[in-house]
Each structure stands twice: as C-alpha cells, then as structure tokens.
Structure 1
Amino acid sequence: MKGNKKRTATSGTSGISAKQLRMRMTTDDPAYKGMRKIKLSGKELANLPLELFKLAELEVLELSPEREACLFYHVQELPTVIGNLSQLRVLAVDTNKLSFLPEQLSSLLCLERLAVSNNLLSYLPSSFSRLTNLQSLCCSNNRFEELPRSICQLKSLVFLDFSGNSLTRLPQEIGSMDSLESLVLSYNRIQELPESICNLRTLRLLWLSGNCLTQLPRGFSKLKNLDWSDHMLSATLDDNPLEHPPLAIARQGPDAIEKYLSLHLSNSNKPSERKSIY
C-alpha cells in the first residue's frame, strides 16, 4: 500500500503503565490452563513498553503480529530486560524481524515453550543450554546453517522444529536428547544423518522431507515408534534422493529397513570376484 512503511520494534515509553498492563492480563486462555498471559499486537509491537518487563508474575507473553498487521509492525529486537520475567513459561515471538536473541533470555529458567519461527536468526545465545525446563522449541524458517549444539543439552525437550532453514548436517550430540518425541527438519539441506540419531528411542514423529539424503544410518530400524506407511504422517522422507533404502522400502517399516540395510552392508563387504585369465 502506497505511503505505508514497515515499522520495527523498539522498547521504551509507550504511555502504558504496569497497572494498565496488569489489567490486560488474562488467565482464561484454554491453551495455557490458567496461566497469566499478555498479548501485544499491531502498533504495540513497534514500541514495546518497558513496563511490560516489570511484570515478574507474567507466565505467557505473545508478541507475534496479528495477520492483518504483520506487514507493518514487527519486533526487531527483544530488550535485555526480558530476563526480568522470572516466571515466564511461554514466549511467542513468531513472524518478526529478530536477527538475534539477547543473552538474558537464558535467565528465563521457568521457560517451557519458545516460538521464534519466521525470523532472521542464525544463532542462539551462548548460554541457551541453561533453559533446562524447555519442552518445545520452534525455530522454523530462519537462517540457521547448523543446529546449535547447546540444544542437545536440553534434556526436557520434547518438540523441536528447525524446518525451513539451511542445515546441512546434525551434530552427533543429538542422540543424547532422551525426551525428544517430535523432530521436524523438513526443507533443509541435510546430506546425512548421524548414527546417534538412532538412539532417540522416544521419537514418535520425524519429518525429513525436502532434504538431500541418499541413505539412512545403519541402526535406523531401532526407531520402532515411527510409522513409515503411506497413510501415516509420523515420518516423512519425501523429496529426498534416497537410495539406501529406497523410499518404497522405508515405508514398509523398521523390519524392512533392517533387512535391506543388512543385505546391503553384507554385499558391500564381499570381496569382488575376479575372472581367471587362464
């Protein structure tokens, strides 16, 4: 629209007092089961009130633009005082213009859910592993070229979404994520999976479509909770140049994968036959 300019957030005085913000606090959102929540949208995102970060009792903070306003108002930077929200359990800052997250974010030790999809992020705070209560992390559609190793130290993490980035590989440490149930890595540039991914015995959902995989790890059949059949959505490998095993074999499940990979390994270890010259 001609004459309209995109606005990105700064933090400062916006005329809203802590008392006014507390009056807007709700506890009736069924998605958060009685947690104290505040949602800012529209013009408020262009000038985050510093008074907001004095509400130490706040448990849910939503700063994602509303659909009709998202073209004009964004959060560009989270203030360092976000670390004051000591009781925060859910932080949603999707679809903004964040290029980094402040180190103080790692002070939110009660944080259980963090949503920062559709931003400009390429790295996480160095102390991110302090968020030991984090259960859900959504970082889709950003600019990550590698999965931060600090994530692999989050033993409470159940859901992890890094789809739509530029990942080319995964760290071996990913196999230590004992609680992980859902791993979404679609539409990256992943060329191979580490053998350690086969240690994720709690994994129930694995989306790998739209990558560059040509083969699966030898122990992939250990992921018994995945269903590769055509009618199930718990695991997807579509849009990969998969050869070992072929996608048709993978869809038959763990036993078929194990049989194929065992046979392939056995054949590759056989010495090549030489024709006699006599």
Structure 2
Amino acid sequence: MAHIYTPRSLSDIRELRMRIETEDPLFYGLKKLKMRGRDLANIPPALFHLQELEVLDLSPERESCLTFRLMFVPRTICKLVNLKVLVLDTNELDEIPLEVTKLINIERLALSNNQLSWLPEGFNKLKKLKSLHLANNEFEEFPMQLCEIDGLEFLDLCDNKLHVLPAEISRLSELHTLLLFFNRLEALPETICEMTYLNCLWIGNNLIKQLPRAFGNLKYLDWGVRYTSSTLDGNPLVSPPIEICRMGPGAIEKYLNSSRGDITSRNSNKSLVNGGQRRDDEESDRGQSRNSRSKYENGDGGGKKRTGNTRDNRKSTRARRERNIQLQDYSDEDDK
C-alpha cells in the first residue's frame, strides 16, 4: 500500500530536511542528518522519505547519558538508497536487519558498542564498503562474509571474543588497517604475512605466544615511538619476545630467521651425532662378528671345537673296544 501523506507527515519531512547539513568537517559536502535524544527512541517515519540523505547518524550523544538509544534498526532503512555513511554506534542493537544489505552505496558503516554477534546474510553484497567498525560487540567467530568485500580498507574488531582469525583474511587486498585489540586470539594465520600493504595492525591484549614465520614481511607497519608501538603488548609472546617486536619488522625477521637457523642447526647436529653413534655401533657389531668368526674358525669356540671333541671321543671309544676284545682273546687263551 502506498504511503498516504498527511499534513503532519509532510510537515515532518519538511522539518527534517531543514536539519540536513553539508558542512560537517568529517563529511564535508555530503548531506548529513543527525538524530538526537527522543528521536532515537522513536524514529519518525518521515526520515525514510529523505532519499537524498548521504550521511545518517543514529548514535546517541554522550551528553544525554545514553538515556535514549536505538533498540532496533527499522527495516524501512532500505529506502535510503543514496546513503554512503551510516552511524549506529552505542545503541542496544543485537542484530542488523537484512534490509541493510540493500544499501549498496554504503562506504562507511559504524556498528561499535552494541551487542552484535553476527551479520545478516548477504552482507558481502556491500561491495562499496571501505570502512567497517564492529568494536565492543559479542563476535566469537570472524564474520567470513567480510573476506568477500574486496574493497574493504579499514576493519575494527577490537574488544570482541574472537578465537581464530581465518586464513582467508588475506583476500582483503585493499585492507590497510586491521584492529584486533582485546580478543582471545591464540595465533595468527600464516597468510597474514601476505598482507604486506598493512600499515596498521593492532593485535595487543590477546593470547598470542608466537608470530608467523614470515611476519617480518609486513614492512609498512609503524613500530616506532608513535601510537602503533604498543600494537603487540599484552600478549604472552615467546617467539619473538616483546622487546624484539618493539624494534620493528627488521628485528622480528632477523630473530625468526635466526631461530629457524638455530633449530635447523640443532637438528643437523643431532643427526650427525646420531649418525656417528650408529656408525660406531655398526663398527662394534662388525668387530664382534669378525672376532666370533675367527674363534669359530680357529677352534677356540663354537661348532669347530665341539666337532673336534666329538671325533676324539669316538676314537677313544673304538680304542677301548679293541683293547677289551684283545684282553678277552688273551683270557680265552689262558683258559685253554
């Protein structure tokens, strides 16, 4: 059913249009509308008739003490087809409606400080999305759909409950900022070392003990005295230690290569020692075999000696038998 415009709804539309601004320094030149206070608790239906909107901010003001917050996103938001920026931070959202995936012109989406644990099916249709803010939510698994948004440049997943970062994340070939502070990551995939275009990677306050072997390939990361210098702090790092990490990718690469060389060297030395021991054992076995064969052949032991003794015993038995026969003959002669 088509919307019936009443005098009230028309006046609401006019009022909202008067609040549109174009000189926000963050979005200069874009048509922006910021909803405040009670409007967040009860979004006026007239809002979704402002199809010219390019920036919509539905995040509560800090000064309001968060009294008024958005409990859900109206499905009619899909009518705002020209939106480039949608800000929904710091509300009470536990889901994003499927209709958001129809905002195909969206470039920046801010969803931090909510209660989200999943993204709607079809989220990967937002092919123009460049900046996504999902910090301080309830994500336990990395949203795999994000790996299909090739143009994504900025991704903030800090302060969630992520355990694993998928290997497919390397498909984000335009990503330059990846923020993963305060999660439960125990390791990083080897494929992250292929993301050599990263210039900001925050993985502090996780459970990471060891960095991938080729981590030193991330040459564009800033490990200096500026804000990214603490990007790895708060992890139980062993290889390499945090002191090495703070020295930059060159030191990390040198340490990991050196450690790999030491392991190879130790394995090689172990093989040499084991090989030498095996050769000594083989030589000893061959020596014992030669000694045994020599004794056997010389009659000092083994079968030859036993064969000689048997032959001697047979000779002695025949001699005694012959003597007994002779003695018997002598005895018979005497009786005659």
Output the TM-score relative to the length of structure 2. 0.75
1:239 match: 234
Whole-angstrom CA distance in 2 between matches of 1:105 and 1:233 = 34
Select 1:93's aligned residue among 88, 92, 103. 88
2:16 match: 21
What letter corresponds to residue 212 of structure 1 in structure 2?
L
| Range moving further from structure 2, 158-167 or 23-32 | 23-32
1:145 match: 140
2:25 match: 30
Whole-angstrom CA distance in 1 between matches of 2:248 and 2:67 = 47
1:164 match: 159
User: Displacement of 1:266 after TM fit?
Assistant: 3.0
2:211 match: 216
Whole-angstrom CA distance in 1 between matches of 2:235 and 2:222 = 18
Identity %: 45
Q: Is residue 173 of structure 1 aligned with residue 162 of structure 2?
A: no
Whole-angstrom CA distance in 2 between matches of 1:112 and 1:145 = 25
What letter corresponds to residue 228 of structure 2 in structure 1?
S
Spell out, residue by residue over 1:123-165, the C-alpha distance to the aligned partner (whole angstroms, 9 max, x if none). 0111111111111111100000111011111111111110000
User: Displacement of 1:20 after TM fit?
Assistant: 1.6
What letter corresponds to residue 195 of structure 1 in structure 2?
E
Select 1:258's aligned residue among 243, 253, 264. 253
User: Displacement of 1:101 after TM fit?
Assistant: 0.3
Q: Which runs of 5+ in 2 are unaligned?
A: 1-7, 282-336
- Partner SS for 2:210: coil
Kindly indicate whether the alpha-carbon contact (under 8 Å) linking 1:145 and 1:165 is maintained by their aligned counterparts in 2: yes
Whole-angstrom CA distance in 2 between matches of 1:43 and 1:65 = 10
Kindly indicate whether the alpha-carbon contact (under 8 Å) linking 1:42 and 1:70 is maintained by their aligned counterparts in 2: no
1:10 match: none
Whole-angstrom CA distance in 2 between matches of 1:234 and 1:199 = 20
Q: Which runs of 5+ in 1 are unaligned?
A: 1-13
Whole-angstrom CA distance in 2 between matches of 1:67 and 1:226 = 33
Q: Alignment length, in residue pairs? A: 264
- Partner SS for 2:26: coil
* Mapping of residues 190-205 of structure 1, within 5 Å: 190-205=185-200
> Which is strand-richer, 1 or 2?
1
User: Displacement of 1:29 after TM fit?
Assistant: 1.0
User: Displacement of 1:267 after TM fit?
Assistant: 3.1
Whole-angstrom CA distance in 1 between matches of 2:147 and 2:139 = 15
What letter corresponds to residue 245 of structure 1 in structure 2?
P
Kindly indicate whether the alpha-carbon contact (under 8 Å) linking 1:116 and 1:139 is maintained by their aligned counterparts in 2: yes
Whole-angstrom CA distance in 2 between matches of 1:24 and 1:227 = 41
1:5 match: none
Q: Is residue 125 of structure 1 aligned with residue 113 of structure 2?
A: no
Larger Rg: 2
User: Displacement of 1:72 after TM fit?
Assistant: 1.4
- Partner SS for 2:146: helix
Select 2:79's aligned residue among 72, 84, 89. 84
> Which is helix-richer, 1 or 2?
2
Whole-angstrom CA distance in 1 between matches of 2:217 and 2:92 = 40
RMSD: 1.8
Kindly indicate whether the alpha-carbon contact (under 8 Å) linking 1:176 and 1:199 is maintained by their aligned counterparts in 2: no
Kindly indicate whether the alpha-carbon contact (under 8 Å) linking 1:204 and 1:226 is maintained by their aligned counterparts in 2: yes
Output the TM-score relative to the length of structure 1. 0.90
What letter corresponds to residue 248 of structure 1 in structure 2?
E
Which of 1 and 2 has higher RCO (CA within 8 Å, sep 6+)?
1
Kindly indicate whether the alpha-carbon contact (under 8 Å) linking 1:227 and 1:251 is maintained by their aligned counterparts in 2: no
| Range moving further from structure 2, 180-189 or 266-275 | 266-275
1:8 match: none
2:53 match: 58
Whole-angstrom CA distance in 1 between matches of 2:247 and 2:79 = 51
2:290 match: none
